[in-house]
Structures are given as structure tokens and as C-alpha cells.
Amino acid sequence: MKIVQFAEPGPPSVLKYVDAPTPEPKPGEVLVRAHSIGVGIPDVSSRKGTYSWMPPLPCTPGTEMSGTVERLGAGVTERRVGQRVIVTARERPQRGGCYAEYITTPADGTFVMPDGAPMEAGATLANYQVAYHLLKDGARARPGDDVLVWGAAGGMGNALIDICKADGMRVIGVASGAERCRFARDMGADHVIDRKSESVPHRVMEITNGRGVDIIIDPVAGDTVATNVKMLAVMGMLLIYGGLGGREGDMSPALRGAMGRCPAIRRFSIHYLDHMVEPRRAGMRALLDMLGKGQLKPRIGARLKLAEAAKAHEMMEASAVMGKLILQP
């Protein structure tokens, strides 16, 4: 079979498309043939060597895959050959591994695709899993909340908008440029702010009649924290995940300046669920139920061959994709 692998961290060019033996499932495992493989920020961070949960080198990146069960290991009764399933590295002994034509994984850590759902959609649910727990656990979001979503035209933006709208929240999306703003609006954002040509704080206050928003979800952090806090409504919460803009430094001045509104800041990571098996799996089952009901509408921004993984990473780093980027064998 073919896999994508890198021996040492570095630029996208370190990703090599190589031959490897097709693995045999051990007791309790299944062998899955890939249909679609999601590309995400953890993959890019792993390749760069900056991911805190790096698997050992040489490394095959990849957090998520949809595919078909090809073989069963000894003792497996909960899956059958030919079943359409989702594989997630969050249910495997270590992160990564999904940039491959075939993968072995614990059978009880796979998830059955809903009837009628496209296989490609199964390769987007790692984003939805983060979005689900950001909103449900991190923000404790409620119907009627106003939610500001930065990066609204990306794969995470897609996931956050879908879940917010399914749960009766109002979404203010922030994107960069007219094309990305149109995309966010088409995904269902109630309002979209073009950060290239508009003042985000001014537009937020205009949209909310000076009240501010209940929840802000920000993957950048860095020097954006103070501005975000100023846009929060009374008892509002800023959730930081990803930290793509670097460490935010001392947040005390931003909080002190808004004490009359009692703001909160939470740094979120999906890794809080690493040792909480049932809550993690319950969240995925809830998402699959929503997918089966048509409440989730993942947009595929680009489809590349598995052999083009390096190009995929270049596109991710250039923010050249709207929606989700997937690889296919």
C-alpha cells in the first residue's frame, strides 16, 4: 500500500509518498481501506514538529479518515466487512496515521457512517468534534446566544456555524475578503464581517445594538485578546483554541478593563478528552446523528490525491482553502 510519511520535521517537502506493507489487524482491531482523509492543523503542526502530541518518527500524519472495513481481527463482533466507518486518531493509541491507503485501528474506536451520508463527510468530523465540545463544554452555549466565529470560511468555521445554527444560536462570522465572506454567508452565518475592509468591533456593536456577543471563538489569540474582550456582552466568554497567533501573554489588563461586564476567558483543547473515553465517543455519536438528519453540511473546499499531501499542506499554510480539504487514494 501507499502512505505519506516524514522522517524529520520540516517544510511540506518533507512529506514523502512511499510504499509500506499493508498491516494485518490484531485481535480487537479492524483493517479499514481509506475513501477520504481529512487534512487539518494538527497534521501541519506534526509535520513542522510543533505539535505537543507528536507521534514517534518516522511519522504518518492524519487525524481522520472515512473508509470501508476490509478485514476483522480476532474477537471483533461489533463491526462487519464492508461496513462504512470513520477512523479517528483520537481513538487510537497515538495521534496521526491516517495519511494511508489502509489503516488498522481498534474496532470499538470506529464509528459507523449514517445511511445516505456521503463518505467525504466522514473525513470532516474531527473539526466538528472540536466545534461540538467547544460550544457544549467550553462555552456551555445556549439557544439564542450570539456567537462570533473568527475564520468563518474554513473547515472549523463550517463546523461551528452548522452546530450553532442547529442549536438555535445567531452567528456573526469574520472572514478575510469578499469571496470568503460570501462563502461564510452561504454556510448560514447570520452576519459576516470582512476584517480586511471593516472594523470588527464597530460592526459587532452595530449588529448587537451595543450589547456585544455572548461567545467569541478565536483560533488566533496572540494580540487579539484585548480586542475580543471588549466585544463581549455582560457575562460573555472568549474561548481560545489553536493559538495560531502565538501566546497571548498577560490577560489581566484586558480583564480588569472590562470588570463591569464580568467577562471570562477559557483556553480550550480537545485533549482534555484524551482520557475521557465515553464523553468523547458520546460527542461523536451525537454528531453522527446530526449528520444523518441533515443538520450538518460539511463543505469540501478541495480534493487532492494522497500523493499530493505536500501540496495540501502548502494550501493549508497559505489559507487557500474554503471549507475542508481532503485527500483521496
- pLDDT tens for residues 175-225? 999 999 999 999 999 999 999 999 999 999 999 999 999 999 998 776 678
Residue 292 lies in a domain: no
The CATH number that applies at residue 204 is: 3.40.50.720
**Which residue, 292, 324, 283, is CA-closest to 132?**
283
What gap in Å lies between CA 165 and CA 269, rounded to an integer? 22
Domain count of the fold of the chain: 2
Do residues 99 and 36 lie in contact, with contact meaning Cβ atoms separated by under 8 Å?
Answer: no
For the chain, the average pLDDT equals 92
Q: Which three cell numbers stand for residue 37?
A: 482523509
What gap in Å lies between CA 168 and CA 177, rounded to an integer? 27
Residue 321 lies in a domain: yes
Do 218 and 262 lie in one domain? The reply is: yes
Do 250 and 312 lie in one domain? The reply is: no
pLDDT band at 245 (very low <50, low <70, confident <90, very high): very low
What gap in Å lies between CA 12 and CA 187, rounded to an integer? 30
The mean per-residue pLDDT over the stretch 231-251 comes to 75
The mean per-residue pLDDT over the stretch 288-293 comes to 96
- pLDDT tens for residues 104-145? 999 999 999 999 999 999 999 999 999 999 999 999 999 999
**Which residue, 111, 93, 40, 155, is CA-closest to 287?**
111
Do residues 280 and 273 lie in contact, with contact meaning Cβ atoms separated by under 8 Å?
Answer: yes
Do 137 and 244 lie in one domain? The reply is: yes
pTM of the model: 0.91
pLDDT band at 28 (very low <50, low <70, confident <90, very high): very high
Q: Percent of the chain, pLDDT > 90? A: 85
Do 140 and 204 lie in one domain? The reply is: yes
Please tell me which residue, 36 or 224, carries the higher pLDDT value: 36
Give the pLDDT score at 257: 57
Do 134 and 116 lie in one domain? The reply is: no
The mean per-residue pLDDT over the stretch 252-278 comes to 79
Give the pLDDT score at 90: 95
Q: Which three cell numbers stand for residue 327?
A: 485527500
What gap in Å lies between CA 214 and CA 172, rounded to an integer? 11
Q: Percent of the chain, pLDDT > 70? A: 93
Do 107 and 213 lie in one domain? The reply is: no
The mean per-residue pLDDT over the stretch 291-302 comes to 95
Please say if the pLDDT value at position 247 is more than 80.
Answer: no
| Structural domain span for residue 24 | 2-124+298-328
Residues with Cβ within 8 Å of residue 169, at least 6 apart in sequence: 141, 142, 143, 144, 145, 146, 147
Helix-strand-coil split of the chain, %, nearest 5: 35, 25, 40
Residue 154 lies in a domain: yes
Do 32 and 135 lie in one domain? The reply is: no
Please say if the pLDDT value at position 250 is more than 90.
Answer: no
pLDDT band at 226 (very low <50, low <70, confident <90, very high): confident
- pLDDT tens for residues 51-109? 888 889 999 999 999 999 999 999 999 999 999 999 999 999 889 999 999 999 999 99
What gap in Å lies between CA 81 and CA 85, rounded to an integer? 10
Do residues 55 and 95 lie in contact, with contact meaning Cβ atoms separated by under 8 Å?
Answer: yes
